[in-house]
């Protein structure tokens, strides 16, 4: 049985219509379908759990990276097969998987695919699907939220970016990889990556492979303030790991300690003093075209 978790206003207001289209395709194939309408943050996780408890063995997520991140805990806990209908703003994990941009085309590709096992991660007690980390990029996101009350859309982000650059301080933290002793570090950015993209297409971890049983830990060194404006374009194309300002380390367990740090978890911002990341190999069940 399939469950469809959807927001009726997602996809530029086309969420309900797209969900009904998915339902029609599945029922035409003889599948039993249940619909779960989400109307707010936090509800997709509850609905995914409900779908599993009501006997669904496959779950269609109609939304973006935030919705995926909310439902992935239940998907992993109940070994559900996940289908992604990308209707969000960034759709970074769908981009990483190579799914078509068109939501229905992406779904059809998966329906006609085969079962494949992918990794995901756990940060403290929460499962995440794509990328998590802290530093300069998180400071910009936090400041953007502040500026949204004053400036519209992209202008809020631009103003936030300039403000963070103007007052830039490196991120100070302690880091332990795969049980090694903690080391004190100062970096511009540190990301723990399962996928490759975040922020609507910035290729932060160009070598990440979500089927290899490892995180890609991307550490951007303490970049001088004068070079900060070029950092974002490098991220977009994944060039930061090639030009000497970042290094890639593969690890199965990562611990980051910093008092009252803000961590980006698949686009959600959370405060914590310690983040412990553990890879969950092959726990994500997807239907994709054969490679």
For residue 157, pLDDT over 80 is answered with no
Q: Picking from 119-133, 154-168, 175-189, which range would have the lowest pLDDT averaged per residue? A: 154-168
pTM for the complete prediction? 0.92
For residue 197, pLDDT over 70 is answered with yes
Calculate the average pLDDT of the chain: 92
Q: What is the mean pLDDT of residues 68-88?
A: 96
What pLDDT is stored for residue 281 in this prediction? Answer: 98
Please report which confidence band the pLDDT of residue 115 belongs to, taking 50, 70 and 90 as the band edges.
very high
The percentage of the chain sitting over the pLDDT mark of 90, rounded to a whole number, equals: 69
Residue range(s) occupied by CATH 3.40.50.10330 in the chain: 2-112
What pLDDT is stored for residue 290 in this prediction? Answer: 76
Contacts 24+ apart (CB under 8 A), 21-26: 21/104, 22/60, 22/62, 22/85, 22/104, 22/107, 25/107, 25/108, 25/111, 26/2, 26/60, 26/111
Q: Picking from 13-22, 130-139, 157-166, which range would have the lowest pLDDT averaged per residue? A: 157-166
For 131-279, CATH gives: 2.60.200.40
Please report which confidence band the pLDDT of residue 153 belongs to, taking 50, 70 and 90 as the band edges.
low
Residue range(s) occupied by CATH 2.60.200.40 in the chain: 131-279
Q: What is the mean pLDDT of residues 19-24?
A: 96
Domain 2-112, second-level architecture: 3-Layer(aba) Sandwich (3.40)
Structure-model confidence comparison of residues 25 and 41, the more confident one: 25
Residues 212-222 have pLDDT tens digits of 999 999 999 99
What pLDDT is stored for residue 224 in this prediction? Answer: 87
For residue 186, pLDDT over 90 is answered with yes
What pLDDT is stored for residue 291 in this prediction? Answer: 65
């Amino acid at each position: 049985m399939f469950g469809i978790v959807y927001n009726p206003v997602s996809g530029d207001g086309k969420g309900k219509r797209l969900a009904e289209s998915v339902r029609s395709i599945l029922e035409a194939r003889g599948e039993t379908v249940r619909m779960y309408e989400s109307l707010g943050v936090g509800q997709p996780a509850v609905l995914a759990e409900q779908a599993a408890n009501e006997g669904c063995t496959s779950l269609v997520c109609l939304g973006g990276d935030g919705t995926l991140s909310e439902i992935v805990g239940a998907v992993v806990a109940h070994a559900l097969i996940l289908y992604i209908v990308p209707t969000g703003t960034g759709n970074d994990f769908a981009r990483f998987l190579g799914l078509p941009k068109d939501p229905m085309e992406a779904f059809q590709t998966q329906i006609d695919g085969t079962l494949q096992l992918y990794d995901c991660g756990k940060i403290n007690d929460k499962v995440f699907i794509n990328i998590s980390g802290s530093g300069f990029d998180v400071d910009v996101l936090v400041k953007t939220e502040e500026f949204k009350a004053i400036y519209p859309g992209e202008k809020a982000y631009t103003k936030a970016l300039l403000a963070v650059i103007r007052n830039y301080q490196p991120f100070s933290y302690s880091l332990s990889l795969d049980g090694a002793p903690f080391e004190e570090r100062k970096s511009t950015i540190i990301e723990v990556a399962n996928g490759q993209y975040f922020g609507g297409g910035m290729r932060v971890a160009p070598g990440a492979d979500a089927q290899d049983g490892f995180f890609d830990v991307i550490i951007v060194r303490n970049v001088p303030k004068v070079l900060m404006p070029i950092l974002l374009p490098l991220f977009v194309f994944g060039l930061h790991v090639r030009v000497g300002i970042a290094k890639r380390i593969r690890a199965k367990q990562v611990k980051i300690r910093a008092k009252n740090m803000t961590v980006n978890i698949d686009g959600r911002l959370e405060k914590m003093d310690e983040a412990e990341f553990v890879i969950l190999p092959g726990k994500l069940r997807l239907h994709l075209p054969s490679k």
